[in-house]
């Protein structure tokens, strides 16, 4: 977890307030303030006694189950949900975690948004020497061979495993491997690695996520030891850590991944979901003070995969310039984005297509007159401010 003495935040409240401000810029809404509306899915189904018990492999997975149930209460049958919530640790050292959830899209953009937002949040803490580790365990079907080979590997090294853990090695090879990794067992570096068992389609899907990170400029490393229960996770898993200056040890401050299996289990229907949790120690006040704004007057739309990959970088440029925007990064089609822009009634739309992505420009369109200019990215924020585009729109008092 984040030690506040290593950051520029004097209290937990200051950290959470800063983190929530970044998350809300990207469109995340407070889960605890959402209300159910007509057309939303029914309450998540209860797990019956006859249902197989969830095999948790990590300590944080039980908390994920609680969060997943709550998120599913507010997910529409169509569309996406970007939500944040603050969860407090109940055991061990007092802690507070900001959870970010993206539900309703199976695209790698979900994980990319989570990692970019988490990167921005941690960057604002002032923490240095942080690292991002990523793994991919594939789908439930493709990981069967991996788990089978893990079981065979553990049997070969059964004598070196603690007697209390040996029975679990037979019943739950993956959970056992996770515990051995946490204990630093010497046999774990040579254990089978899940990415070796991915199908070609899953490799392509994983590469899509890595492309988002590389285009954005976010450094990462592949780490086969980032694992979790197959009842909870599928495909990508990730951790963000910092180096403790005193011990030189890596301290995990954020973790998450795609939890489609758990969301599908609770919803009773196929559903896509991804999350990341950023954890801080509790120091001083932990009561969050949220900033209140009006509505953005700009909608940022993309057309095509290349523009989508570069959109995250544009969003960060606008965030640093404190220019608020709506965005439709989770939408695949331009039509869906234009529909949302009309519903939001934004007077200006920023558009990046393939041509603009290649040229490093963005089209700025005025909705009322349909006039537009192609603006180079380095000049975008100056152009918007010069033309008084992008201030918060304060709602009129009735």
Tens-digit pLDDT profile for residues 176-190? 999 999 999 999 999
Any idea what the CATH number is for the domain that residue 352 is in?
3.40.50.800
Instruction: Tell me the average pLDDT across 216-243.
Output: 95
Measure the CA–CA gap between 108 and 116, rounded to whole angstroms. Answer: 12
Q: Count how many domains the chain has.
A: 2
Residue 148 lies in a domain: no
Measure the CA–CA gap between 398 and 383, rounded to whole angstroms. Answer: 33
Model pLDDT, residue 42:
47
Given a contact cutoff of 8 angstroms between Cβ atoms, the answer to whether 133 and 219 are in contact is no
Shortest CA distance to 133 belongs to which of 23, 273, 253? 253
Instruction: Tell me the average pLDDT across 189-214.
Output: 96
Model pLDDT, residue 77:
57
Measure the CA–CA gap between 384 and 251, rounded to whole angstroms. Answer: 41
Write out the two tokens for 294. 């009006």
Q: Which one of 281, 313, 339 terminates a domain? A: 281
Residue 66 lies in a domain: yes
Instruction: Tell me the average pLDDT across 105-126.
Output: 96
Residue 125 and residue 11 share a domain: yes
Residue 110 and residue 212 share a domain: yes
Residue 310 and residue 257 share a domain: no
Query: What average pLDDT does the structure give for the chain?
Result: 90
Residue 311 and residue 221 share a domain: no
The reported pTM is 0.93
Residue 347 and residue 206 share a domain: no
Residue 121 lies in a domain: yes
Residue 159 lies in a domain: no
Residue 322 lies in a domain: yes
At residue 398 the predicted structure's pLDDT band, cuts being 50, 70 and 90, is very low
**Residue-range definition of the domain harbouring residue 316:** 298-386
Residue 330 and residue 244 share a domain: no
Contacts for 301 with CB less than 8 Å, ≥ 6 apart: 327, 328, 334, 337, 338, 341, 349, 350, 351, 352
Tens-digit pLDDT profile for residues 275-323? 999 999 999 888 888 777 788 999 999 999 999 999 999 999 999 999 9
Query: pLDDT at residue 345 above 80?
Result: yes
In angstroms and rounded to an integer, the radius of gyration of the C-alpha atoms of the chain is 22
Q: Which one of 281, 315, 335 terminates a domain? A: 281
Q: Phi, psi (5° rounding) for residue 165? A: -100, -15
Q: Which one of 249, 281, 313 terminates a domain? A: 281
Measure the CA–CA gap between 222 and 69, rounded to whole angstroms. Answer: 30
Residue 317 and residue 274 share a domain: no
Residue 106 three-state SS: coil
Residue 273 and residue 303 share a domain: no
Residue 250 and residue 315 share a domain: no
Tell me the percentage of the chain whose pLDDT exceeds 90: 71
At residue 48 the predicted structure's pLDDT band, cuts being 50, 70 and 90, is very low
Instruction: Tell me the average pLDDT across 16-42.
Output: 80
Model pLDDT, residue 386:
95
Residue 337 and residue 217 share a domain: no
C-alpha triplet 127, 131, 132: angle, nearest 5°:
125
Residue 303 and residue 255 share a domain: no
Tens-digit pLDDT profile for residues 350-394? 999 999 999 999 999 999 999 999 999 999 999 999 999 987 776
Model pLDDT, residue 43:
54
Instruction: Tell me the average pLDDT across 157-166.
Output: 92
Q: How far is CA 195 from CA 151, 225, 241, 257, 352, in A?
A: 17, 11, 21, 15, 33
Residue 363 and residue 275 share a domain: no
Model pLDDT, residue 349:
97
Tens-digit pLDDT profile for residues 72-109? 887 765 578 899 999 987 667 889 999 999 999 999 99
């Amino acid at each position: 977890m984040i030690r506040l003495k290593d950051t520029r935040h004097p209290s937990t409240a200051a950290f959470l307030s800063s983190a929530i401000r970044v998350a809300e810029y990207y469109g995340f809404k407070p889960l605890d303030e959402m209300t159910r509306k007509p057309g939303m899915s029914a309450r998540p189904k209860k797990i019956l006694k006859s249902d197989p018990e969830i095999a948790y492999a990590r300590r944080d997975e039980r908390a994920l189950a609680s969060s997943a149930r709550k998120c599913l209460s507010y997910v529409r049958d169509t569309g996406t949900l970007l939500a944040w919530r603050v969860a407090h640790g109940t055991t061990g050292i007092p802690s507070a975690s900001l959870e970010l959830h993206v539900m309703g899209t199976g695209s790698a953009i979900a994980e990319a948004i989570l990692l970019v937002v988490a990167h921005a949040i941690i960057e604002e803490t002032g923490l240095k020497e942080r690292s991002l580790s990523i793994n991919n365990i594939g789908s439930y079907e493709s990981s069967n061979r991996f788990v089978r080979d893990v079981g065979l590997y553990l049997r070969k090294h059964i004598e070196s495993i603690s007697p209390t853990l040996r029975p679990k090695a037979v019943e739950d090879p993956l959970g056992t491997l996770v515990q051995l990794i946490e204990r630093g067992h010497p046999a774990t570096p040579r254990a089978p690695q899940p990415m070796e068992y991915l199908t070609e389609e899953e490799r392509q899907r994983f590469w899509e996520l890595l492309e988002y990170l590389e285009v954005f400029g976010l450094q990462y490393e592949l780490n086969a030891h980032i694992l979790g229960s197959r009842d909870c996770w599928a495909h990508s898993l990730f951790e963000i850590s910092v180096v403790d200056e005193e011990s030189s040890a890596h301290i995990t401050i954020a973790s998450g991944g795609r939890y489609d299996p758990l969301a599908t289990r609770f919803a009773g229907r196929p559903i896509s979901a991804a999350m990341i949790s950023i954890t801080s120690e509790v120091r001083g006040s932990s009561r969050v003070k949220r900033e209140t704004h009006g509505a953005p007057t700009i909608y940022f739309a993309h057309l095509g995969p290349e523009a989508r990959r570069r959109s995250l970088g544009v969003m960060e440029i606008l965030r640093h310039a404190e220019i608020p925007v709506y965005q439709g990064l989770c939408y695949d089609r331009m039509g869906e984005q234009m529909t949302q822009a009309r519903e939001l009634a934004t007077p200006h739309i920023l558009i990046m297509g393939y041509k603009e992505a290649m040229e490093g420009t963005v089209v700025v369109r005025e909705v009322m007159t349909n006039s537009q200019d192609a603006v180079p990215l380095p000049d975008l924020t100056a152009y918007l401010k010069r033309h008084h585009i992008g201030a918060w729109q304060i709602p009129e008092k009735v």
